[in-house]
Amino acid sequence: MTFYTLLFAVGILTLIALLCGSILLIAKSKLRPNENQLVDAIDALLPQTQCAQCHYPGCRPYAEAIAKGEAINRCPPGGTATIQALAELLGREVLPLDTTTGITKPPQIAVIREQECIGCTLCLPACPVDAIVGAQGFMHTVITQYCTGCELCIAPCPVDCIAMIPFNKKS
């Protein structure tokens, strides 16, 4: 092999490498990853309780975090069924529920014992789905059909007049 052949070979190889590199560079800058589609698909599988037990402010932020690689077992309301559905969607391992975030409970909704309510409005901003109606000094109540049973209104209530009751979809 002469020196010329060697130089030629190196030149050709460099040329191919440069070509491949520039194609990749162009592809990377032109093709923006389409995150939304994935986030939508994940969000659709989450229970939409907006309970924040996963330590994210709601289901959508958690879906975004999962798309970026967060664990799929941080949703206690969804429980095993949700973890399985997510694992199937994303091709990940099925994991047991991370119990540091909470345990799976049967469907429930919040009820305000109206005779005890003092109308403090503290539970209104706590509700992630605006399912509590009421005003300062007036009795509050939960709109049953919107309540997700997230328990976020229980802690702010100064007189502990909110109770969780089991909920079945028929009624």
Partner 1 sequence: MPEILIILISTVLVNNIVLVKFLGLCPLLGVSQQPHHALGMALATSLVLTLTAGITYLLNTYLLIPYHLEFLRLIVFILVIASLVQLLDHIMQALSPLLHQVLGIFLPLITTNCAVLGVALLSTTTPSSLFTALWYGLGTAIGFSMVLIIFAHLRARLTTSDIPRCFQGAPIALMTAGLMSLAFMGFIGMAK
**Residue ranges in contact with partner 1 by CB under 8 A:** 5, 8-9, 12-13, 16-17, 20-21, 23-24, 27-28, 31-35, 37-38, 41, 67, 88-91
CB of 122 to partner 1, least distance (A): 41
What CA–CA distance (Å, rounded) separates 63 from 78?
13
By beta-carbon proximity to partner 1, the closer residue of 21 and 166 is 21
By beta-carbon proximity to partner 1, the closer residue of 44 and 118 is 44
By beta-carbon proximity to partner 1, the closer residue of 7 and 143 is 7
By beta-carbon proximity to partner 1, the closer residue of 7 and 155 is 7
Q: What distances in angstroms separate CA 132 from CA 19, 31, 142, one per listed residue? A: 62, 44, 4
What CA–CA distance (Å, rounded) separates 123 from 80?
30
What CA–CA distance (Å, rounded) separates 157 from 126?
10
Please report the sign of the dihedral spanned by the C-alpha atoms of residue 153, residue 154, residue 155, residue 160: positive
CB of 61 to partner 1, least distance (A): 18
CB of 93 to partner 1, least distance (A): 9
CB of 72 to partner 1, least distance (A): 11
What CA–CA distance (Å, rounded) separates 99 from 73?
9
